Amino acid sequence: MQRAEEDAGLAGKVTLISGGGAAGDGIGNGRAAAILLARAGARVLVADRDLRLAERTVEMISAEGGTAAAHGGDVTSEDDCRHLVEAALDRWGRLDLLDNNVGIGSRGNVVDESVEQYRRVMQVNVETMFLLSKHAIPAMIKTAQGGAIVNISSISALRPRGLTTYTTSKAAIIGLTRAMAVDHGRDNIRVNCICPGPMYTPMVYARGMSEQARANRAKASLLKVEGTGWDVGHAVKFLLSNFARYITGQVLVVDGGVTLQAPERESQEH
């Protein structure tokens, strides 16, 4: 009988993960996905604007016997996106999977937000996924005869709490995901989206967070537990695996039931 990991079809697959680093030894969404995919036998190109953070992720993977390489790159640059795809091809000769994981926050409304900040958030949260996919998809078609892509959005796209620019960008990711799924299903490429809830990740706690704030976030969940980068990482791994072979254009909500609660029960940015 085959092991479950072998059935997942991830062994030997080449995966590109943007935003795959994290501060220190913290576990962000991208780092968790990279580690979990490597454990399943995938070969992972970990990309991050800060090469040192990507290298730390690779060290963690290598310590477990996995296969990974680090590459610096700013995915707001089309040239850098092209180079990331080329780096995967140069090293392993193919590209099968893509995890679009880069994003930033913003708390402004349409009156308070500057035009410059609005454009920056849309660039980082949406345009980066467009650019990296633009160069990854032809490689998937040519070298792997298909593949799978996961885009990371937020539950703010499903239940807006204000945060207009951030929410708009995350909603755009859902539209981008569904349109890409329609356009590239004929190329045997699946495209799905994950909407995380309030996860305890380095990006969140780097701004400072009290134990009371963490407790409030947990209470916002029906399960009364706090989400972590591992929860998102497992969802990414599932959607990129053969277990999701008949799933495309869908939104997977990973929030412990937060979106089923009354809005006033929720706190902190997702």
pLDDT, tens digit, for every residue of 72-83? 999 999 999 999
For tokens 């790159």, the residue is 73
| Residue 251: strand pairing partners | 193
- Is the C-alpha dihedral spanning 172, 256, 259, 267 positive or negative? negative
- What is the per-residue pLDDT for 264? 57
CATH of 7-254, one of 3.40.50.10490, 3.40.50.1220, 3.30.1330.20, 3.40.50.720: 3.40.50.720
CB atoms within 10 A of CB 55: 18
Strands 14-18 and 97-100 turn out to be parallel
Active site residue 205: no
In the chain, which ranges are continuous DSSP H helix?
Answer: 4-7, 29-39, 51-63, 78-92, 115-122, 128-139, 164-184, 202-205, 211-219, 229-240
Tokens 């040192």 belong to which residue?
52
Q: DSSP string spanning 64-105?
A: TT-EEEEEE--TTSHHHHHHHHHHHHHHHS---EEEE-----
Name the residue with tokens 């035009």. Answer: 115
At residue 25, the pLDDT reads 93
Nearest-angstrom CA–CA distance, 9 and 41: 9
User: What local confidence, expressed as pLDDT, does residue 269 receive?
Assistant: 43
Are 49 and 74 in contact, with CB atoms under 8 Å apart? Answer: yes
How many C-beta atoms lie closer than 10 Å to residue 101's C-beta?
A: 29
What's the CA gap between 208 and 218, in Å, rounded?
A: 17
186-228 pLDDT, tens per residue?
A: 999 999 999 999 998 887 776 777 888 888 888 889 999 999 9
User: Over its length of 270 residues, how does the chain's per-residue pLDDT go in tens digits?
Assistant: 345 556 799 999 999 999 999 988 999 999 999 999 999 999 999 999 999 999 999 999 999 999 999 999 999 999 999 999 999 999 999 999 999 999 999 988 999 999 999 999 999 999 999 999 999 999 999 999 999 999 999 999 999 888 999 999 999 999 999 999 999 999 999 999 999 999 988 877 767 778 888 888 888 899 999 999 999 999 999 999 999 999 999 999 999 999 998 765 444 444
Encoding tokens for residue 215? 């407790």
Q: How far apart are CA 147 and CA 185, in angstroms?
A: 10
Tally of CA atoms within 13 A in the half-sphere of 99 that contains its CB: 35
Q: How many CB atoms lie within 10 A of CB 92?
A: 19
Residue 198, burial from CB neighbour count under 10 angstroms (0-12, 13-18, 19+):
buried
Token pair in block for residue 220: 């916002």
Residue 30 CB neighbours (<10 A): 32
**Distance between CA atoms of residues 188 and 98, nearest Å:** 14
Q: Give the residue extent of every domain in the chain.
A: 7-254
> How is residue 241 written in tokens?
């695996």
